[in-house]
Amino acid sequence: MPQAEPVAAVPTDAALIAAWQGGDEQAAAELVRRHARALARFLASAGAPEADLDDLVQETFIRAFRAVGRFRGQCRFRTWLLTIGGNVLKDAGRRAKRATVVPLGEDVRATDGDPHERAVAGEAEGRLLEGLRRLPRMQREVFLLRAQQGFEYEEIAAALGTSPGAARVHYHHAVKRLKEHLQ
């Protein structure tokens, strides 16, 4: 019976960070490949304009790679990255407030499916996003890290500088407020 080729172990984020710090550019590219989609989902849910998502993701990775020496592994790399992404989004929001913006009509996103279903789904999505924007910052971030990213309360607490109990309370209040907003 022929021997199967050994499967190469998938490197951990910590191993990729160490390799990147040692000069391996492919390790940095793998970190981006691994986490960019989740980061973009998090930023979009947190209120980032779709047109700015690529720039915000890129800025987040730039800041993360510049500060990677300060990453101590107290939480997962993705948790740390999403925290940086939240800060990038806040900074962009402050810059946007200083700029004059003329809102334009939004085109229909999907061109397939039942028009009534698209309208109902679009309305529900809009109400949810509006509800998320109305939440206090900490409740919004805890909710997104828990509901969208599936993080445990301990990871959320480490990322946001709070306790697991406080993270639970913020999540509970966020869910309650979102339910009230959606009714």
Of 100, 66, 106, 102, residue with least CA distance to 84: 66
- Please give the CATH number for the structural domain made up of 117-183: 1.10.10.10
Does this model's pTM top 0.75? My answer is: no
Listed in order, the ranges of the chain carrying CATH 1.10.10.10 are 117-183
Average confidence score pLDDT of the chain: 81
Residue 59 confidence (pLDDT): 92
Percent of the chain with pLDDT over 90: 19
Q: What is the DSSP letter of 148?
A: I
Listed in order, the ranges of the chain carrying CATH 1.10.1740.10 are 10-99
Helix 164-182 and helix 115-134: axis angle, to 10°? 130
- Please give the CATH number for the structural domain made up of 10-99: 1.10.1740.10
Dihedral angle sign, alpha carbons of residues 20, 146, 137, 72: negative
> How far is Cα 155 from Cα 176, in angstroms, rounded to an integer?
22
